[in-house]
Amino acid sequence: MGFFIDEAYAQAAPAPGGVSLSDFAFPLLLFGLMFVLLIWPQMKRQREHKQMLESLAKGDEVATSGGLIGRITEIGPNFVVIEAAKGVEVRVQRHAIAAVLPRGSMKTL
């Protein structure tokens, strides 16, 4: 019968031994790549945003994450009052401020 069907032979048992460093090389490399490409830049952006929020001052022109542009009239620990137009003041959360605009940019709008 060996002529038509190959005979199956048992394979040799694997050599006894523990887990080597080469078994962890790919996951470690993958984690390092993910950290460099995703986590590190995000941490840098968060740090820069925190510094920008700490340096806010009365009179700064800002843009919020919702698209509102105005001048800061009051600063609190959690909220900021923004004057969007003459006599129109809006209270927004401090972390909703996305960017500080250059002085005089509201005049051009």
pLDDT of 24 reads: 84
Return d(Cα 107, Cα 105) in angstroms, integer.
Answer: 5
Each of the 109 residues of the chain gets a pLDDT tens digit; together they read: 556 777 777 777 666 766 777 788 898 999 999 999 999 999 999 999 999 999 999 999 999 999 999 999 999 999 999 999 999 999 999 999 999 999 888 887 6
Return d(Cα 66, Cα 55) in angstroms, integer.
Answer: 21
pLDDT of 17 reads: 66
pLDDT of 2 reads: 58
Cα dihedral sign, 90-92-96-97? positive
Nearest to 90 by CA among 79, 102, 106, 105: 79
Contact 96, 66 (CB under 8 A): yes
Q: In 3-state terms, what secondary structure has residue 101?
A: strand
pLDDT of 63 reads: 96
CATH topology of domain 57-109: SH3 type barrels. (2.30.30)
pLDDT of 74 reads: 96
Domains in the chain: boundaries = 22-55, 57-109
Question: What's the predicted TM-score (pTM) here?
Answer: 0.69
